[in-house]
Structure 1
Amino acid sequence: MTSNNQGDQAVLPPTPNNPNPVDFGPNVIIFDPSMDVGSIQSRVNDILTQQKPNQFGEARYAFFFKPGSYNNLNVEIGYYTTVHGLGHSPDEVTITGGGVQSGGIPPNGLALNNFWRGVENLAVHPTNDGQPQTPKNLNINLWAVSQATYMRRVHVKGVLFLSDFHYDGTGGNYSSGGFLADSLVDTSVISRTQQQWMSRNTNVAEWPEGVWNMVFVGCENTPSGPWPQRPYTVVNTTPLIREKPYLVIDKDGKYSVRVPHLRRDSKGPSWSGSNEAVTSLPINQFYIAHSNRDNADTLNAALQQGHHLILTPGIYRLDKTLHVRHPNKVILGLGMATLTPTTGTPIMKVADVPGISLSGIIFDAGPTNSPILLEVGQPGSSADHSTNPIALFDIVGRVGGPSVASATVCLTINSHHVLLDNVWLWRADHAEKSEYVGWDTNPCQNGLIVNGNDMTAYGLFVEHFLQYQTIWNGERGSTYMYQSEIPYDVPSQDRWMQNGEKGYPSYKISNNVTTHTGRGMGIYCNFLKDGVQLDNAIETPNASGIDLQHLITVWLDGKPWTGINHIVNGRGGAVLNRQPMTATL
């Protein structure tokens, strides 16, 4: 079902930077099935050569594939690259050959830093049969990734590998923490050394492997086995979700953005076996931004006039806060579009209004401390958004990495009923230059603070902040798959204490909270100073409505006498100096 009901949104005239045909700028590369496949391959390879080593570079790209078939093509992508099929369903764009891939770093395929990339709304038919050191007779699509990546609305007509299979025996091909949603895999997902993973609303024929923490919510054909011998957490249906908005093009060459409707207690992909319920937004309702000519004033003017917003690939340096005040607005980032403050202001504030969708954006701290990078709802927000929630998809909050940076909090949620769908909040533990990271160099106290009630997170990744990684003050919150590394660079135990305890728990549920749900939660340590320990990975009030299941701590590496002493509130075994490496509860 397609709906054109725009609610309060009037049809807006084209904006000055939104001509016909649409100008997505030079870093959106648009492919058509009539093009020579060699030319397509050459363009993809040129960008891969630039982006594969470009972890902290400034270039960003998006590949658009118009509906049709693309044969004998291998689309491998690197940093800050996203791939978008423009069909109304994933099967309207089919890439046959190598597929759409993300490989590890040679020579041993390590993918622990394979961040900031994604693919959505297409089908891949991999035919890379019998590659070296892989099982024979398998058509494999390689997707060796870690945090801040996504695969959505994808139909894999073969095997999906989640860690690099070009393995030379040195033990280095780990990957860590990806996200698969609203997708169909015809055969197997082989996770191999992928350490943790979030799957939501998928249908996978077989998932035989797992390392620490593999979470499945609203998925069909889920794996089974007793925890923790089999590291699977299965939630039968997805309580509440609205899928990410996506671009399409019709037979007349007109673009629009489709906004899927809210689903409750759903299972399996939204597009498989039935017509989707969506709202279709014509492209002339969007202000199409370009980093080389737009600034905070032009973006705020477009938002104030009621336009939706497309951020084409680039870095947008902002001297003022962006304000999103109108309900039901879509802000869609392409190519991991990046917003960064230049004067220590918050990057964006979203009003307490219904139906906002934010997606595909890096919120990157600047050199002057910002009190917050992204705020959803103002303090004291009270509106009921249960029938039309604010939703965040594929969002990154980053403090440090490309340069010296500082913030106090990455993300604060004040509104009720907010949905988070694949969010990574990261205080950088490594950087372009070593002098760009350090306890006093790229400080940030907390990754996420939740003050609103009834917030739901699917795939929440929060890492390396100086104090609590996540603070949950709101009632009836839910987290499905939590991955957190506590800070590596604690300078000494006496500088990392609170209430007489060693360290700050990663996930803190405040004492006033009576009801909270958590499923599949992993907290890991790698302390670089001797003797630094964390007493509790998770802290909760003693209330009967606190329901946490399938919890794991891991000692990744570190100095002597370091570790995590308990999993939650003094319960659960210790992980110290690899004895044992993991503990579960």
Structure 2
Amino acid sequence: MAGAPGAQATPGQRIDPRDPDLGPNVTVFGPDTPQDEIQQAMDALHAKQVDAEMSTDRHAVYFLPGTYGSDADPLQFGVGYYTEVAGLGASPDDVTVNGAIEVRNRCLGDDANPNCIALVNFWRTISNLALDVNTAGQGGCEATTNFWAVSQAVSMRRLDVRGPLSLMDYCSAGPQFASGGFIADSRFDTAVTNGSQQQWLTRNSELGGGWSNGVWNQVFAGVEGAPSEAGFPAEPYTTLDTTPVSREKPYLFVDDDGRYQVRVPAAQKDTSGISWADGPTPGRTVPITDFYIARPGDSVATINRHLARGKHLLLTPGVYDVARSIKVKRPGTVVLGMGHATLTAVDGAVPLTVADTAGVVVAGVTIDAGTVESPVLLQVGRADRSPWRDRVDTWRDRLCERSALWAAIDPRCTTGENPVTLSDVYFRVGGPHVGKVDVALEVNADDVLIDHTWVWRGDHGVEGFPTDGSEGVNGDSMRWRTNTGRTGVVVNGDRVTATGLFVEHFQEHNTVWNGEDGTVVLYQNELPYDPPTQADWTQPDGTLGWAGYKVGDHVERHRLFGAGVYVFNQNDPDIVTENGFAVPQAPGVRLHHIMTVNLSAGTIEHVVNGVGDAVPPSTSGSPEFVVDYPAP
């Protein structure tokens, strides 16, 4: 089936399916493109983007089916900020790069103290290709592996990697820290070196050569060849045989007739391994002519008109100022961002709203808070969860179960099998500019899947805060008052699943989960660095601090697998947080493999609900683990 139900031709945009106009920041290479031309272009792009952490540049680079590089002349290039690199084949093996596609440490210090780390290597993507690792021509240590030294908001999807891969760069001067990350639907024939990665989620993949080590929190779901969790916490692995709910991210490809299409994978339950082992990934294909291809500067009114008429939405690379909500209402609509396309709230707008309807997919989009406070940056489903609405939902669910006729006409009947899905959707409050929001991501609908997100209230940026000590460490006191964000994620819907939930630095509970039957596979959180005083980090009832992960007091059923809350109160190292996690005492609320850790400032007294020893600065870098809560 092609397109969303009810899709119809929309006037106003002509698209050549064999040569669509994807804007000035999209580059497409073919196997007939001279390799020196590709090398030159990729080297220039990397030089432009390697240090462009807070820039507005966005880029996507695609490779048509074929082979690039050779044993004698490998293609080797780096991937910088806001850069997407992807193959345009129907299968990852349709595009083969013989060479290296790498991210290396950034050295942020001086000659005396280079401070080479990957801790701020954010916002980049690689997907849908085969990589035959070939580092010929690189000298010494650099030739030992393909380095992918990254941290949050970086995804590796639909890859076939043949040869060594390291998730840290161990060649440059230390400390070589890294704090990622995410792999899905990928195959590796050689051991993956985790190295210094503090946490990582690998989902629905094959590790033919195994996994080399762990630091604090390494989670595997539906991964063939994953390490056992039997040695936890000495070996900090959390391993699920299958992924409870998954859907692979939509991907652009070119068919045998040269036409551009988007493959929209189907949702799956209790799966393991890659989706493309025995043929095409299960799902549906949508012609690119069924999309509205947007560019920065297009009005929201135009975008909404096309969405209302049944078009899907392709956001070409760039920054979109959004002064009124982009509204996704129709079942099955796909919103696909290219090259980390970014929506920025203007005048307190909610940049994106998604209706509670089946099959909507939002993927590859970054959403930024603006200088005027927004109530929310992305809202899924209506906020009204009144008792009357709950009764209506119960009545509807019963009709869906008992009436085939009703199930055929009501798209909400299929939300469980075809959930609203958010894939590689990232949020920022501060960083490139001042940002203000109440809640970044609010999920009110049931049966939603969140597949990899980083929800970040910036701990650093270019906003111009004084760094002379007059406003705390690196301007943190002013940041606390100016870049405001109460909560990163609020989940009110039932049966919501999150695989790869990263939420950091918000000013109260970073995540609040109020819905029943929620499941989270890997949660990572840093508490805010910047509360000026303990009084600023104390709840109205006197509780010291806000837990990094809060499950609502009324919730009876909830599951969490592999989670960490970190503390680094650099503005006032004497600040205390009572609990990293706070959950109700209910038999159906189960936490498996959770931990807290100190990054050298502040204190967390307990891991969860008074259980677990404190992590003060004297324990810096040494986690406190709880294997299961409540204890069996």
Length-normalised TM-score, structure 2: 0.88
Residue of structure 2 aligned with 1:568, choices 601, 604, 608: 608
Aligned to 1:189: 192
1:517 partnered with 2:559: yes
Shift of 1:242: 1.4
- Match of residue 30 from structure 2: 32
Paired letter, 1:505: A
1:476 has 2:517 as partner: yes
Quote the offset at 1:319 in angstroms.
1.5
Retained in 2: the 8 A contact 1:133–1:167? no
Q: Give 1:84 shift.
A: 1.4
Give deviations 1:482-528, integer Å, cap 9, x for gaps. 00000000111112112321000010001110000001001000002
Match in the other structure for 2:594: 551
Partner secondary structure for residue 45 of structure 1: helix
Query: Deviation at 1:325?
Result: 0.7
1:75 to 68, 74, 77: 77
Q: Which moved further from structure 2: 322-331 or 125-134?
A: 125-134
1:18 lines up with 2:10 in the alignment: no
In structure 2, do the counterparts of structure 1 residues 7 and 409 end up closer, same or farther at CA, with 3 Å as the change threshold? Answer: closer
Q: Is the 8 A contact 2:142 2:171 kept in 1?
A: no
Matched, 1:278 2:308: no
Residue 303 of structure 1 and its aligned partner are, at CA, apart by 1.1
Offset, 1:468: 0.4
Amino acid at match of 1:103: R
User: Which 10-residue stretch deviates more, 481-490 or 122-131?
Assistant: 122-131
CA distance in 2 between counterparts of 1:7 and 1:54 reads 37
- Local SS of the residue matching 1:259: strand
Q: Is the 8 A contact 1:198 1:214 kept in 2?
A: yes
Q: Map residues 371-410 of structure 1 onto 2, 5 A cutoff.
A: 371-379=375-383, 380=385, 382=393, 383=412, 385-410=415-440
Q: How far is 1:134 from its partner?
A: 3.7
State how far apart, in whole Å, the 2-side matches of 1:7 and 1:439 are: 43
User: Conserved in 2, the CA contact under 8 Å of 1:17 and 1:23?
Assistant: no
Alignment of 1:523-534 (within 5 A): 523-528=565-570, 529-534=572-577
Name the CA distance, whole Å, in 1 between partners of 2:346 and 2:447. Answer: 31
- 2:356 paired with 1:316: no
Provide structure 2 residue ranges, at least 5 long, that are not aligned to the other structure: 108-113, 394-411, 466-474, 627-632
Q: 2:95 aligns with which of 93, 96, 102?
A: 93
* 1:398 alignment partner, SS class: strand
Summarize the alignment of residues 39-188 of structure 1 with structure 2, pairs less than 5 Å apart. 39-71=37-69, 72-97=74-99, 99-106=100-107, 109-128=116-135, 134=141, 138=144, 140-168=145-173, 171-188=174-191
Alpha-carbon shift at residue 17 of structure 1 (Å): 5.4
Letter in 2 for 1:144: A
The offset of 1:236, in angstroms, is: 0.5
- Asked if structure 2 preserves the Cα contact closer than 8 Å seen for 1:15 and 1:284, the reply is no
Q: CA shift at 1:108, angstroms? A: 5.5
Q: Which amino acid aligns with 1:583?
A: E
Q: How far did 1:295 drift? A: 2.1
Query: Is 1:304 matched up with 2:308?
Result: yes
Distance 1:5 1:300 in 2: 21
Cα 1:535–1:122 shift into 2, 3 Å: same
The one-letter code sitting in structure 2 at the alignment partner of 1:345 is A
The answer to whether 1:250 aligns with 2:255 is: yes
State the distance in 2 between where 1:471 and 1:371 align: 16
- In the alignment, is the contact (CA less than 8 A) between 1:108 and 1:166 conserved in 2? no
- Name the amino acid aligned to 2:334: V
Residue pair 1:17, 1:288 contacting (<8 A) in 2 also: no
Moved more, 267-276 or 23-32: 267-276
CA–CA distance in structure 1, aligned partners of residues 310 and 618 of structure 2: 55
Counterpart contact for 1:161–1:189, Cα < 8 Å: yes
Distance 1:426 1:187, change over 3 A: same
Report what 2:494 is aligned to: 453
Give secondary structure in 2 for the equivalent of 1:495: helix
Kept in 2, the 8 Å contact 1:14–1:285? The answer is no
The one of 203, 206, 214 equivalent to 2:206 is: 203
Among 515, 532, 535, the residue aligned to 1:491: 532
User: Is residue 194–residue 211 contact of structure 1 (8 Å, CA) maintained in 2?
Assistant: yes
C-alpha contact (below 8 Å) 1:37/1:73 kept by paired residues: yes
Higher helix share: 2
Distance in structure 2 (CA, Å) of the matches to 1:576 and 1:130: 47
CA distance in 2, matches of 1:135, 1:583: 35
Check whether the contact 1:86–1:247 (CA below 8 A) recurs between aligned residues.
yes
Q: 1:295–1:316: 8 Å Cα contact kept in structure 2?
A: no
How far the C-alpha of 1:577 sits from its partner, in A, is 1.1
Deviation at 1:10, TM superposition (A): 3.0
CA distance, structure 1, for counterparts of residue 557 and residue 614 of structure 2 = 27
- Sort the Cα spacing of 1:62 and 1:272 in 2 relative to 1 into closer, same or farther, 3 A: same
Alpha carbons 1:126, 1:141 under 8 Å: kept: yes
Answering whether residue 504 of structure 2 is matched by residue 507 of structure 1, we say no
CA distance in 2, matches of 1:473, 1:503: 20
Larger mean Cα displacement after TM superposition, 471-480 or 11-20: 11-20
Counterpart contact for 2:3–2:290, Cα < 8 Å: no
Change (3 A) 1:439 1:135: closer
**Cα distance per residue 1:30-57 (max 9 Å; x no partner):** 1001010000011111111110110000
CA distance in 1, matches of 2:116, 2:227: 26
- SS of 2:485's partner is coil
Cα separation, 1, equivalents of 2:280 and 2:294: 32
Q: Which amino acid aligns with 1:8?
A: P
* Structure 1: 5+ residue stretches without partners: none
Q: Show CA shifts across 1:195-239 (max 9, x none).
A: 110100010121021100000000000112411100100001011
- 2: CA distance between counterparts of 1:275 and 1:115? 30
In the TM superposition, residue 6 of structure 1 has moved relative to its aligned partner by 4.7
User: How do 1:224-263 residues align onto structure 2 when only pairs under 5 Å count?
Assistant: 224=228, 225-263=230-268
Q: Percent identity?
A: 41
C-alpha contact 1:352 1:376 (8 A) present in aligned 2: yes
Give the number of aligned pairs.
573
Kindly state the Cα deviation for residue 126 of structure 1 after the two structures are TM-superposed: 1.2
Q: What is the CA RMSD across the aligned residues, in angstroms?
A: 1.7
Q: Deviations over 1:449-473 (max 9, x none)?
A: 0000000000000000000000000
1:109–1:202 Cα change, 3 Å? farther
Q: Distance in 2 between matches of 1:447 and 1:235?
A: 26
- How far off its partner does 1:304 sit? 1.4
CA contact (8 A) 2:419 2:447 kept: yes
Q: Deviations over 1:312-356 (max 9, x none)?
A: 000000111111111100000011000012111111111111100
Partners of 1:8 and 1:266 lie apart in 2 by 27
Deviation, structure 1 residue 536: 0.2
User: How much has 1:531 moved relative to structure 2?
Assistant: 1.3
Partner amino acid, structure 1, of 2:494: N
Which residue of 1 is the match for residue 455 of structure 2?
425
